Amino acid sequence: MRVLAAMSGGVDSAVAAARAAEAGHDVTGVHLALSKNPQTYRSGARGCCTIEDSRDARRAADVIGIPFYVWDMAERFHEEVVEDFYSEYAAGRTPNPCLRCNEKIKFAAVLDRAMALGFDAVATGHYARKDSDGLLRRAVDPGKDQSYVLAVLTPAQLAHSMFPLGDTPKDRVRLEAQERGLAVARKPDSHDICFIADGDTSGFLKRRLGSETGEIVDAATGEVLGDHDGAHQFTVGQRHGLGLQRPAENGKPRYVLSITPVDNRVEVGPREALQVEHIRTGEPVWLAPERTGPFEAEVQLRAHGEVYPATVTADEQGLAARLHRPAYGVAAGQALVVYDPDAEAGDAVLASGTIDATRSPAAADESVEAAGV
């Protein structure tokens, strides 16, 4: 089978490419140049797409003994991922750029080009598994599992995807890289948002979206507690960096409860006000045969986040989930991923959807039904 191995310059993708080649596939390595102005060096474990990363990927391909190319995806990445990031924050939502990159770049643009060039599959260093039925499952290593950020794939994309590392713990992958003579064996994993190398998301957004003074108010009383220079710098559930001028009477911390971009207003309140029990998403992506419901499932609301038992109902507009216990700080723009609790260890992905609305346990039933949550 002809396999295109996406090689980021890190240890995971290098070992994935090596395993695909060792399995007898005809493997070609490709590094995706996602930055218009790649930096010369990484900043610790932050960022990616540097000149150093492309060189590391090339050296790994040489050791493995496979052809290697660099594909310029910078313009597509900026349009589909970075611009989406800006627009979502400007709308008061909290996006997950890793999901968008998987959806629009790694398993859309790259896979489409690979298929057009005669490749049969794309192999990546993601930690996830596919079973004999073609279903996406969690990785063996729960701490590294990436099925959540892969849940945006369509069944057709999943059918042409390979995840050689899904059955291996991360420490074993590093040891294998060392045994194979790959120089990236001890290279640190990249963290945070890859296109914000310094980790300053607020500053990154401010440079594009600008500054505009607005109020931070108590959600219960309407009292103005402080001001800010841009609602896009906040996310639901945020505790630090609020700059409030007056502490709560009970001395407990306040959290961001809601963001209203139209009037540049941020509402804050106690942690208990962050409770969410009802969640509604936009149009779902089904990785397994569609269900309507209601059906029992397990849902995950953020990457490497807690799993919640839930009752899920689905229609063409989206997914509606009623959590059996409340979650905290669920932000619109994140993904709700549904897992089958009847599968082995509850690890088979059924569907995903982008969160549009949430309701608290205290919401009246009629309000919940009216909102479709």
**Active-site amino acid positions:** 101, 194
Two structure tokens written together for 279: 């969640």
Residues 6+ apart with CB under 8 A from 116: none
Strand, coil or helix: 84: helix
Q: Element (H or E) spanning 175, and its range?
A: helix 170-179
Q: Residue 5: is it exposed, middle or buried by C-beta count within 10 angstroms (0-12/13-18/19+)?
A: buried
Minimal CA–CA distance to 32: which of 243, 233, 195? 195
Per the CB < 8 A criterion, the answer to whether 136 and 87 are in contact is no
**Structure-derived torsion over alpha carbons of residues 123, 128, 133, 134, reported in degrees to the nearest 10:** -40
CA-to-CA distance for 299 and 308, rounded, in angstroms? 5
Contacts of 210 (CB under 8 A, 6+ apart): 230
Residue 295 contacts residue 309 (beta carbons within 8 Å): no
Strand partners, 227: 215
3-state secondary structure of 138: strand
In angstroms, the Cα distances linking 287 to 240, 245, 282, 315, 337 are 37, 48, 16, 15, 11
C-alpha dihedral, 89 to 191 to 172 to 41, nearest 10° = 140
Residue closest to 285 by CA, chosen among 128, 120, 108: 108
HSE (side-chain half, CA atoms, 13 Å) at 98: 19
Q: Could you tell me if 152 and 337 are in contact, meaning their C-beta atoms sit under 8 angstroms apart?
A: no
Residue 146 and residue 124 in contact, taking contact as beta carbons nearer than 8 Å: no
